[in-house]
Each structure stands twice: as C-alpha cells, then as structure tokens.
Amino acid sequence: MSRPDSAPPPQANPPVRHGPRVPGPVETVVFAWRWLRRMRTALYLLGVLGLLSIVATLVPQRPNVPGTVAAWRAGTEGPGRFVSGLIDAIGGYDVYGSRLFLIVLVLLFTSLTACLIPRYRALWRLRRAVPPRSRDLSVHPEQASIETAAPPEEALAVAQGVLTEDRWKLRPDDADAPSQVAAERGLLLREGGSLLFHTSFYVLLVAIVAGQLIGFSGQVAIVEGEQWADAPVGYWTYRPGRLWSEADHRGFVLGLERFEVEWTDDAQPILFRSTVEVTEADGTTSTETVGSNDPLLVDGMKVLQLDWGYAARVVVAADGEIVHDAFVPMTATETAGLWHGAVKAPALDPDLGLDLLFLASAPEGLNGPEPTGAPWLEEPALLFDVYRGDLRFDRVQNVNALDTTAMELVAQTYLRENQALELDGSVRVAFPEIRRWVAFQISDRPTAPVLLVAAGLILLGLLPALYAYRRRVWVAVTTDLELGRTVVSLAGRSFQRPEAFSGEFAEIVETLRQRLGTPSTGGEGEPRPARETEVVPR
C-alpha cells in the first residue's frame, strides 16, 4: 500500500522575497497593545521599576539630600567624577523625577489596563459558564461510592440538594444525561479576588500619582509663644503639587504655646510634645497637642511635628537703635548638645553677621563654658563669631548660615542668658532669652482616603485570590439489578489546593450518605484517593 503523494510539486509556490517591511501606524499600535497585554510585560515593567528604585536606594537623591548629591557631583564624596557623570546621564540623582521613571510608570499603567480589561470580560462570561459533565468518573483524583435503597432519581435529587445547600453551582438539568450531576465552585471567587487585588493595586498607583498632583506639603518652624498663619509666604519649604493653587490654603492660624521634650539619663529622647492654639478659618479656637506619632488635623490639613531646636533671642543695637531683635531658630548639629544658627544685620554699615553656636549644657569651667554634650538646658552658652563686611545678599542665602566670603572675623566671644556685651563701642549684642522652636509639616493629601480603601481592598482581594480554589464534583447513579440497589458514584477534582479539597469532598460524601440513609460502613463507601502519589497543588 503506497501513500498518496501529498508533497507539493517543486516550485509550486516560489518564495516571494519582501523587502524589510515597515509596520504601519495601526500595526504598531496593535503590536504595542498586544505586547502590553502580556502578564510577563507587566512583571518586567514592575521589575524595571524595582531596579530604578534600587538605584535610588544606593545613590543619594537630590530632593532628599542635595548636599550629598553636590558632593558626589564634585567628586569630593562618593565614587568619583566619572561614575558620577554616568549616574547623572541616566538621571540617577533624581530617579523618581526622571523621564525614564515616568515612561516606565506610564507603560506599567497601560500594561495593567491592557491586562485587566480582557480579564473583566472573561469574568463576565464565566458568570454564565456551565459546569461540564464527566464522561468517566474514574479518572478524577477523588472517588467515592454509596449504595442506597433509594431509587436513582431520588438519589440524584438528594445529591443536588446537598450541593445546592453548600452553594455549589450546578449544571442545569438536561435530557441527555439525567444520570449525572455536575457541579463547580470557587472559580468566581478565586478569579474575582485576583481581579479585585489587581484592580485595587491599579487604583492605589493612580491615587498615589493623583495625590502628588493635587496634594500639598510644606514645612514651617514656630518659636514658642509665637503664631503662624497658613499662607503661601509663611512656609520655610513649600512643595505644592502641579495642580495645587495658592487659593487652596485654608488660612488657619497656629500658635505654639509650649513644647515639651524629655530624655532618658543617657540623652535618648523619649517624648516630644507640642501644645498649640489653633484658630481655624471660621474663627473657632481650641488648644490641642501634637505628638511624635500623633498628628493634628486642622481644616482638612494635617499638622505633623517634625523637628525641634533651641531659639535664642538675639538683640543687636547700634548707636542705641535696635537693628535686630528676634528669636533665631538654631538647628541641631552632628555634635550632641550643640546647635547652630546665624544672625544677619544688613542695616548696619558695614553689614554685621553673627555665626551662632548654642551649647545647651555648658557649665562655667576654667577656660569658659565646658560643654557636657547633654541636650537639656543647664547653664547654656551662646558662642558667636562676629563678622563685618558684605553679607552678599546678591547671592542665594541659607537662613541658618552666613556667607563669610566677603566678611572679616572681628571677634569671637560668648554670652550667657540675660547677658549683653558691647562690640567695638557702638554695637551692643544681648541674649535675653532662650526658647524652643518646633518644625511642623503641614500637608494636604486629598487622595489619602482612596489609598486607604484601595489598601484594604488589596488585602481583601488577595485572600480569595490565594486561598479560594476551583473544584468540581460529579455525581452519577447506576442501578445494581442483582441486589436491587442504587449505586451512587461521586468524583471530585480540584485545580488548586487539592489537600484542602480532600477534606471537603469527604464531608460532601458523608452528608450525602446520611441523607440517603446509608450507614457509614467503612470499607466500600469510604472516600479514597484514586492515586497514592502526592498531589502537587498549584
């Protein structure tokens, strides 16, 4: 017997060589959409996002530590100028503000959208899916059989009842095979949970981006006994989102009544608490406290205690006229018990600048104040370097530091609280009082409730997505003519977590056995796994 010759005749279809084809715009879009629709693509993009954030973890970021970045760029710190240039080329000093990060984020959003839409459609179709019948019950991992005196139709009806009570989805009766019940469960819950999880993650990302656009965050320092009003000009640092407008400020007033700080004996801070007087935009006044983990909500804006320091009142008078009288907020330095600040008095000619060092605890020793390093007040001393010259107000100024490039150091001295001294005859400097200042962060995050809900839904979706399992059960009946009994066969298959399904299947069998009035005999009717091998759950 010879085979029919099915081979094509030679050169029947000579290969046509096309030149390099340029895909059209529609084709490109379709191709891109298909690429983005793959789960793998979304995972790759998430991976790239992860890699970028590793870079941001290891490389100093300009918005957080501008000083360190400047040092890396200059080559005085970090891996040197060459590597630094490479980092700069990929935008490594501001990863989260870089174009690459934006592109990856946009692609990830598109990819997640492209992944989710077809799954929603599939879930909608799944709603109406009918559990399939099984031709051969003996192929399934879970098996059991029950003998009963009840007629076959009744046995099937009872089985349907048991499964319906247990909220199984049954195959509707049809004329073809009245001798079998097919039921399914868990698919909607598992797939629905997974979709809820992924959708919530998507919403979370959208809310984060939206929050950065319409939100606001700013910082302000208030000295004890002073007041501050929420207005664009009042902030030390001002970080509005792109879509934040100055009219969005509420205009409430904060007055810092007092600030408490407590330390252990070895100077570990254990308590920071501010007592503030709040005057809301509508004029209502109340006294509140702001603690370390205890922010305050005023007119929908969050007031959070960030930092604190000492504020020395420094009065500078020249020829009897006061040219500077204010509390100078001083920031903590790396040395324990030492704070730093600056006074700038451009009203004098030449300009006067004071570079201040504040020692919180410095009892008088043989050679003047001897700092103990403790952060609490104990014979505090205000050390200052007096500079005369040009304060260089033509340059960008740092509030807490002097630009001494055009100034000359004329004196170095110190004052105790309530002391004053004369400098070169006409200038008088006094240190009448020490207080504290507290830095507050004032922020408005309108999408925060959305984030909270999305976070909750992520968890809510995750549990069924991981633990719900899709399983099917079949019940068939045959009549044993010799004994005149009905044999009910059950079979079950689980697509995930077979170990959990085994127990559930046994329970179904037991319930059915009781309903059919068959005593639990052990032996024949016992549910038994079809195979002895260990089953691997997905």
Partner 1 sequence: MTAAELSETLFSPVTVVLYGLAMAAYLYAMAFTRVDRAEGDAAVAGVRGQRIATTLAIAGLATHLGHLVARSVASGGRVPWGNMFEYSSVMAFGVVLAGVVVFQWRLKRPEVVGFLILGGLLTMGAAALVWSEPGPLVAILQSHWLKIHVFAIMAAATIFTVAFIFNGLFLLRDTAERRVARAQEAKLTGSTVGAAYDATATEVADPVTQATEGRRNPDDLEAVDHDRLYGDALRAAINPLWLFLGTWVGTATIAWTFWYAGDVNRFFTVNTAMALAALVAWRLVHRLPSAATLDSLTYRTISFGFPVWTFAVLAGAIWAEQSWGRYWGWDPKETSAFLTWIGYAAYLHARATRGMRGRGAAWIGIGAFWILMFTYFTVNLVVTGLHSYAGLQ
Which residue from 199, 226, 179 is spatially nearest to 477, judged by alpha carbons?
179
Tokens of 22: 């340029």
Tokens of 323: 């040219």
What is the DSSP secondary-structure string of 134-170? -S-GGGSSEEEEEEESS-HHHHHHHHHHHHHHTTPEE
Instruction: Identify which of residues 47 and 79 has a Cβ nearer to partner 1 in the complex.
Output: 47
Tokens of 151: 């007629």
Q: Does 272 bind partner 1 (CB under 8 A)?
A: yes
Interface residues for partner 1 in 416-455 (CB under 8 A)? Answer: 441, 443, 445, 448, 451-452, 455
Interface residues for partner 1 in 141-160 (CB under 8 A)? Answer: none
- From 53-61, 225-233, 342-350, 483-491, span contacting partner 1 (CB under 8 A): 53-61
Q: Does 538 bind partner 1 (CB under 8 A)?
A: yes
From residue 42, give the alpha-carbon distance in Å to each of 48, 109, 119, 220: 10, 9, 14, 41
**List 70, 205, 462, 530, residue binding partner 1 (CB under 8 A):** 462
Instruction: Identify which of residues 401 and 466 has a Cβ nearer to partner 1 in the complex.
Output: 466
Q: Which residues contact 178 (CB under 8 A, 6 or more apart)?
A: 153, 156
- The rounded distance, in Å, linking the Cα atoms of 252 and 236 is 17
Tokens of 468: 């719900």
Residue type, 141: P
Q: Does 300 bind partner 1 (CB under 8 A)?
A: no
Instruction: Identify which of residues 326 and 453 has a Cβ nearer to partner 1 in the complex.
Output: 453
Q: Does 536 bind partner 1 (CB under 8 A)?
A: yes
Q: Does 523 bind partner 1 (CB under 8 A)?
A: no
**List 73, 302, 340, 515, residue binding partner 1 (CB under 8 A):** 302
What is the DSSP secondary-structure string of 360-428? SB--EETTEE-----SS-BS-EEEEEEEEE---TTS---TTS--GGGEEEEEEEEEETTEEEEETTTEE
**List 80, 97, 269, 517, residue binding partner 1 (CB under 8 A):** 269
Residues 310 and 360: beta-carbon distance below 8 Å: yes
Q: Does 459 bind partner 1 (CB under 8 A)?
A: yes
- From 143-151, 289-297, 408-416, 428-436, span contacting partner 1 (CB under 8 A): 289-297
- From 147-155, 230-238, 291-299, 429-437, span contacting partner 1 (CB under 8 A): 291-299
Q: Does 208 bind partner 1 (CB under 8 A)?
A: yes
* Angle between helical axes of 152-165 and 498-515 (0-180°, round to 10): 130
- Summarize as ranges the residues that interact with partner 1 (CB under 8 A): 39, 43, 46-47, 49-50, 53-54, 56-58, 61, 96, 208, 217, 264, 268-272, 292-295, 302, 304, 306, 441, 443, 445, 448, 451-452, 455, 458-459, 462-463, 466-467, 531-534, 536-538
